[in-house]
Structure 1
Amino acid sequence: MKKNTIYLFTCLCLLAVAGCTKDEFLDKQPEADVSPDAFFKTENDLLLYTNSFYNTLPGAEAVYAENIDNIVTTSLSEQLTGRRVTPVTGGGWSWGNLRNINYFLENYARHVPYSTSRKYAAIARFFRAYFYYDKVKTFGDVPWYANVIKEDDQAALTKPRDPRTLVMDSVLADINYAIANLGNEQSVERITKWTALALKARLCLFEGTFRKYHTEFNLPDHQRFLTEGAQAAEELISSGPYGVYTSTPDKAYGELFSSLRAKPNEIILARRFSDALQIWHNVNYYTLTSSYGRPGLEKQLVESYLMKDGSRFTDIPGYQSMQFFEEVQNRDPRLSQTIRTPGYTRIGGAAPQLPQFGASTTGYQLIKFVGDVKYDVFNRSENDMPLFRMGEVYLNFAEAKAELGTLTQADLDKSLNKLRERVGMPHLVMATANASPDPFLAGQYLNVSATNKGVILEIRRERRIELVMESFRWDDLMRWKEGKLLTRQFRGMYFTGPGQFDLDRNGTPDVQIYTGTKPGGSSVQLLKLGSDVSLANGEAGGTVVVNPQIKKVFDENKDYLAPLPIQDLQLNPNLKQNPGWN
Structure 2
Amino acid sequence: MKNILYTLMAGVLLLSACSKSLDKEPLSQISPDKSFSSENELHLYVLSFYDKMLPYADYDDNGFTSLYGETSDNIVTNSLDGKLTGNRLVPVSGGGWTWDNLRNVNYFLQNYQRGGLSPNITQKYAAVAKFFRAYFYANMVEHFGDVPWYSKPIETTDNAALTKARDPRTLVMDSVVNDIDFAIANLPVTQSPGEVNKWTALALKSRLCLFEGTFRKYHTEFKLPDADRFLQLAADAAQQVIDQGPYTIYSTTPDKAYADLFHSLTVNPTEVILARQYSASLQIFHNVNYYTVSPSFGKPGLEKKLVNTYLMKDGSRFTDKPGYASMQFLQETKDRDPRLAQTVRTPGYKRVDGTTVLAPSYSGTVTGYQLTKFVTAAANDANGKSPTPLPIFRYAEVLLNFAEAKAELGTLTQADLDKSIKRLRDRVGMPGLTLTSANANPDPYLVAQYTHVNGGNAGVILEIRRERRIELVMEGFRWNDLMRWKEGHLLALQYKGAYFPGTGSFDLDGDGKTDLVIYDGTQPSVPDAQFLKLGTDVTLENGAAGGDITVNPNTPKKFNEDRDYLYPLPTQDILLNPNLKQNPNW
Q: TM-score range by the shorter chain?
A: over 0.9
Q: Structure 1 counterpart of 2:36, which letter?
A: F
1:404 is the counterpart of 2:409? yes
Checking the alignment, whether the CA contact within 8 Å between 1:14 and 1:49 is kept in structure 2 is no
- Quote the offset at 1:522 in angstroms: 3.8
Deviations 1:171-205 (Å, cap 9, x if unpaired)?
00000000000000001101000000000000000
Q: Work out the CA distance in 1 between the residues paired with 2:7 and 2:268.
A: 20
Residue 2 of structure 2 contacts residue 192 of structure 2 at CA under 8 Å; is this kept in 1? no
Tell whether the 8 Å contact from 1:9 to 1:52 is kept in structure 2 after alignment: no
> Who is 1:207 aligned against?
212
For 1:559, give the aligned amino acid: D
Q: Secondary structure at the match of 1:56?
A: coil
What is the correspondence of 1:57-68 to structure 2 with a 5 Å cutoff?
A: 57-58=53-54, 64-68=68-72
For 2:561, the equivalent position in structure 1 comes to 556
Q: 1:575 is paired with a residue of what secondary structure?
A: coil
1:115-130 correspondence to structure 2 within 5 Å: 115-130=120-135
The answer to whether the Cα contact below 8 Å between 1:66 and 1:470 also exists between their aligned partners in 2 is no
Deviations 1:209-231 (A, max 9, x none): 00000000000000000001100
Residues 1:332 and 1:34: Cα distance change in structure 2 (over 3 Å): closer
* Cα distance in 2, alignment partners of residues 381 and 30 from structure 1: 32
8 Å CA contact retained: 2:55, 2:392: no
Counterparts of 2:499 and 2:3, CA distance in 1:
48
Alignment pair present for 1:492 and 2:488: no
CA apart distance, 1:11:
9.0
Q: CA 1:317–1:573 in 2, change beyond 3 Å: closer, same or farther?
A: same
**Tell me, what secondary structure is at the counterpart of 2:305?**
helix
Deviations, residues 447-492 of structure 1 (Å, cap 9, x unaligned): 0012100000000000000000111000000000000000111111
Residue 529 of structure 1: how far off its partner (Å) = 0.2
2:433 matched residue in structure 1: 428
Match of 1:100 among 104, 122, 134: 104
Partner of 1:570: 575
Tell me if the contact between 1:348 and 1:374 (Cα under 8 Å) persists in the aligned partners: no
Distance 2:487 2:11 in 1: 42
SS at match of 1:159: coil
Residue segments in structure 1 that go unaligned for 5+ positions in a row: none
Quickly say closer, same or farther: Cα 1:299–1:564, change in 2 above 3 A. Answer: same
Q: Tell me if the contact between 2:56 and 2:474 (Cα under 8 Å) persists in the aligned partners.
A: no
C-alpha distance in 2 between matches for 1:181 and 1:143? 26
- Whole-angstrom CA distance in 2 between matches of 1:335 and 1:466: 10
Q: How many residues align?
A: 577
Other-structure match for 1:7: 6
Give the drift of 1:29: 4.0
Greater CA drift, 38-47 or 116-125: 38-47
Residue identity in the other structure for 2:53: L
Which residue number corresponds to residue 91 of structure 1?
A: 95
| Cα offset, 1:523, TM superposition | 2.4
Q: Secondary structure at the match of 2:392?
A: strand
Matches within 5 A, 1:308-327: 308-327=313-332
Aligned to 1:262: 267
Query: Once the 2 structures are TM-superposed, how far is the Cα of residue 279 of structure 1 from its aligned partner?
Result: 0.6
1:109 maps to what in 2? 113
Tell me, yes or no, if the aligned pair for 2:7 and 2:277 is still in contact at 8 Å. Answer: no
Q: Compared with structure 1, are the counterparts of its residues 525 and 294 closer, same or farther at alpha carbon in structure 2 (3 Å cutoff)? A: same
Alignment match of 2:353 (pick from 348, 352, 355): 348
Partner of 2:63: none
* In structure 1, distance between residues paired with 2:13 and 2:347: 51
**Matched-pair contact (CA < 8 Å) for 1:9–1:51:** no
The 1:171–1:517 alpha-carbon spacing in structure 2 relative to 1, beyond 3 Å, is: same
Q: CA RMSD in A?
A: 1.7
Which of 542, 547, 550 is the equivalent residue of 1:545?
Answer: 550
Deviation per CA, 1:246-294, whole angstroms, max 9, x where unpaired? 0000000000101111111000000011101111111111101111100
**Aligned position for 1:191:** 196
Say which of 229, 232, 236 aligns to 1:227. 232
Residue deviations 1:366-408 (CA, integer Å, cap 9, x gap): 1011111221122111111110001100000000000000000
Q: 2:15, 2:28 within 8 Å by CA — same for their partners in 1? A: no
Match of 2:366 in 1: 361
Shift of 1:66: 3.4
- How far, CA to CA, are the matches of 1:236 and 1:407 in structure 2? 17
Q: TM (normalized to structure 2)?
A: 0.96
- Give the match for residue 83 of structure 2: 79
Note the alpha carbon deviations across 1:144-163, whole angstroms, 9 max, x for none.
Answer: 00011110111100000000
CA separation of 1:328 and 1:411: change in aligned 2, threshold 3 A: same
Alignment partner of 2:74 out of 44, 53, 70: 70
Does residue 1:159 correspond to 2:164, yes or no?
yes
Residue 10 of structure 1 and its aligned partner are, at CA, apart by 5.4
Counterpart pick for 2:511 among 506, 511, 514: 506
SS at structure 1 position matched to 2:315: coil
SS at match of 1:45: helix
Deviation at residue 15 of structure 1 after TM alignment = 6.4
1:36 aligns to what? 32
2: CA distance between counterparts of 1:457 and 1:33?
Answer: 48
Determine if the alignment matches structure 1 residue 23 to structure 2 residue 19.
yes
CA distance in 2 between partners of 1:412 and 1:222 (Å)? 22
2:71/2:83 contact within 8 Å kept? no
Task: Report percent identity of matched pairs.
Answer: 60
